[in-house]
Structure 1
Amino acid sequence: MALPILGLLRYVWSAVKIYVLGFIALLRQIFQKHEVPELHLHTGKIAVVTGGTCGIGFHVSLGLVAKNVHVVMAGHDIQKGKEAITKIREIYPNAKVDYLHLDLASFTSIQNFVENIKARCSKIHILVNNAAIMLAPYKETEDDFESHFQVNYLGHLYLTQSLLGMLRASGTEEFYTRIINVSSIVHNIGSLDLQNFGKRYLSSILKIHEAPSTNKMCTHWLEYSPHAAYANSKLDIVLASWHLSEQLRREASPVTVNAVHPGVVNSSLYKHVHPAIKWLMDLLAKYTYKTPSEGADSILYLALSPSVERETGGYYDNCRKLKTCQLAYSDSVIEQMYILSTDMIQARVN
């Protein structure tokens, strides 16, 4: 009996932490002036935006197009891609905007996307890793990883590593190539346990898969917290962003890497929130959350503003650089996490 109770307590505690931190972030957002960055035209630049067809990602794509950037929107829904292009061209008839299929839950899809983008573009100046899922029920990807881990973090890491050659070659002394990784304030309650970093995400969680069919869903629920999975994936993003930025800085590569919290934004990400609390969140969203357009502003700031030229390894919120819980981890621990992540990728794609 003790084990189910402990599992239930862990589940509830993870949920409480994420909602309390989210409410604190919302209060700060309400009393804080929203910063709208002043941006100039960037004709000739090419950007890739994952999840660029809807929500915050769509408004990032729209904002980039408004500054004469050629945008390639990446997403897993072809119909949404067509609709997004139509909407953008209704506003900017001469917009340079394309859509390419990308499913971050599949390394094969990522490989195909990279091949397609390399065939279409000779350079990439801006990479916005924006796509995400939040609080989704337990699901494994075709590569046998927990879905938050791969879609939010590992898939983006593989995409970035696969495009790194192009990104390096596209940077100049006047405009460093920019990689923007969309994280969240909830990374502060994420946890990193290197001993269990791999196995906690893989499909070989024996207690789930060896459970009798009649008890499988119960055991599954007690072993898995979507709240913890989401927060952990956002922590992984921040730590990997810092490590890659340091690696590129040592190499003197003209590439910057920064993470960003877009704010508490009214978007479809909240669709998996439990109905018992979703009604309250929907009410708050109507009056207090940022719009997706406002949520895009900090991302656009990092993508285009001259104020952050050559600034790298930072975490931003409302167009301002803030401290993160990255400081709680040693450089060696973060490096080990990054190496383990790369090893996981290579084990699947080789």
Structure 2
Amino acid sequence: MLIDLDTLYLTIFLFLLLPRTVFPKQIGRVAIVTGGAKGMGYETARHLTSLGMHVVIAGNSEEEGLAAVRKIREENSKGKVEFQFLDLSSLKSVRQFVRMFKDRRLPLHILVNNAGVMLVPERQTEDGFELHFGLNYLGHFLLTNLLLDTLKQSGSHDSCARVVTVSSATHYVGVLNLEDLQSRSCYCAHGAYAQSKLALVLFSYHLQQKLTAGGFPVTVNVVDPGMVNTDLYQNLCSPAQLVKRPVAWLLFRTPAEGASTAIYAAASPTMEGVGGCYLYNGQRAQSSIISYDEDLQAQLWRQSCTLVSFPVEDYGEN
């Protein structure tokens, strides 16, 4: 079977970036990848499928999702991959997605929170949340919590279930204003995006603390893919677009390269039982100082539960 260039580039990139990493077959394991129809999400989904996982691509475009499934199946005729509709900007859609997934009685070993929007003009979700905060963060917050019981049941202490959340280096400049999480007092697209990515880091660390305290076989890690040439940059202003085009090939990673650290977090044996990490280039890195503030993590968690009407649970009992 011929290997296309994207697969070849990803293989070379993984080898150069993570030379000691061996990704074993993952037969029988089930993964959900949000935003898996294109960009880094697609590359993540296709690679996990090639490892033998049963992959569910979750996205808000049925046309794109089914096209991605067809393409992956063409490359890997034996791969188990499918599409299920999910609109992360709608809490109702998140609940419907989880209900449909659970009705199938499938296990869940890997959840990759990859989908996102960036630098969009001021807009609100159908629930009235600022779009970056509502889709990038709150949608994934609710999705992860609703799937957590399945993740706990699917993991074991020698083979943990894994939550992998894609953040961004932009979180380093993020400011979390608990009094104005919706950026209503003064909207700035870059600030709203940075805040949503910081919120994902804070949420991930706090969730890992809860899971560890309860002794649950689930790990949670955050990945930074670097600067990746994807459709996320389509909302740049025209002058910035003109500057980006000629230098993108030199400064930006391809989607396949950008997906490498998420794949590493999802499938590498070296990450077995390891949680609460911020990963960049397949290595542990330091996230922003504020992201380690446990009081801020707990406050964000409580507010998030209130916003999505989810109970503030005690994870301390197994």
TM norm. shorter chain > 0.5: yes
> What corresponds to 2:307 in structure 1?
344
Contact 1:190/1:232 (8 A) holds in 2: yes
1:178 aligns with one of 137, 145, 162: 162
Task: Give the deviation of 1:272 after TM superposition.
Answer: 0.1
CA distance in 1, matches of 2:176, 2:188: 15
Task: Give the deviation of 1:193 after TM superposition.
Answer: 2.4
> What corresponds to 1:41 in structure 2?
25
Task: Give the deviation of 1:327 after TM superposition.
Answer: 4.9
> What corresponds to 1:224 in structure 2?
187
CA distance in 1, matches of 2:39, 2:234: 13
> What corresponds to 1:86 in structure 2?
70
Comparing both structures, which one devotes a greater share of its residues to helix? 1
Segment drifting more, 284-293 vs 90-99: 284-293
1:329–1:177 distance in 2 versus 1, CA, 3 Å: closer
Task: Give the deviation of 1:278 after TM superposition.
Answer: 1.2
Deviations, residues 93-117 of structure 1 (Å, cap 9, x unaligned): 1110110000001011111100111
Greater Rg over alpha carbons, structure: 1
> What corresponds to 1:321 in structure 2?
284
> Structure 1 vs Structure 2: percent identity of aligned residues?
38
List, as ranges, runs of 4+ consecutive aligned residues in structure 1 with deviation greater than 6 Å: none
1:288 aligns with one of 243, 248, 251: 251
CA distance in 2, matches of 1:87, 1:119: 27
2:107 aligns with one of 114, 119, 123: 123
> What corresponds to 1:308 in structure 2?
271
- Structure 1: which amino acid aligns with 2:202? L
> What corresponds to 2:213 in structure 1?
250
> What corresponds to 1:114 in structure 2?
98
Contact 1:70/1:95 (8 A) holds in 2: yes
Deviations, residues 214-273 of structure 1 (Å, cap 9, x unaligned): xxxxxxxxx311000001000000010000000000000000001000111111110000
Give the 3-state SS of the residue equivalent to 2:84 in structure 1. strand
Give the 3-state SS of the residue equivalent to 2:106 in structure 1. coil
Q: How does 1:262-281 map to 2 (within 5 A)?
A: 262-281=225-244
The alignment covers a number of residue pairs equal to 295
Give the 3-state SS of the residue equivalent to 2:259 in structure 1. helix
> What corresponds to 2:123 in structure 1?
139
TM normalised by structure 1 equals 0.81
> What corresponds to 1:335 in structure 2?
298
CA distance in 2, matches of 1:73, 1:224: 32
CA distance in 1, matches of 2:106, 2:63: 27
Task: Give the deviation of 1:173 after TM superposition.
Answer: 1.8
Task: Give the deviation of 1:284 after TM superposition.
Answer: 1.6
Note if 1:155 corresponds to 2:139.
yes
CA distance in 2, matches of 1:48, 1:272: 27
Query: Tell me, which stretches of 5 or more residues in structure 2 are unaligned?
Result: 1-15, 311-318
Give the 3-state SS of the residue equivalent to 1:346 in structure 2. coil
CA distance in 2, matches of 1:328, 1:81: 33
CA distance in 2, matches of 1:288, 1:78: 32
Contact 1:133/1:148 (8 A) holds in 2: yes
1:193 aligns with one of 177, 201, 224: 177
Q: How does 1:52-91 map to 2 (within 5 A)?
A: 52-91=36-75
CA distance in 2, matches of 1:328, 1:53: 30
CA distance in 2, matches of 1:190, 1:38: 35
Contact 1:260/1:298 (8 A) holds in 2: yes
- Structure 2: which amino acid aligns with 1:34? L
Contact 1:55/1:268 (8 A) holds in 2: yes
1:259 aligns with one of 211, 217, 222: 222
Q: CA RMSD in A?
A: 1.6
- Structure 2: which amino acid aligns with 1:83? A
> What corresponds to 1:234 in structure 2?
197
Query: Tell me, which stretches of 5 or more residues in structure 1 are unaligned?
Result: 1-32, 208-222
Deviations, residues 34-78 of structure 1 (Å, cap 9, x unaligned): 346431101000000000010000000001001000000000000
CA distance in 2, matches of 1:245, 1:84: 32
- Structure 2: which amino acid aligns with 1:129? N
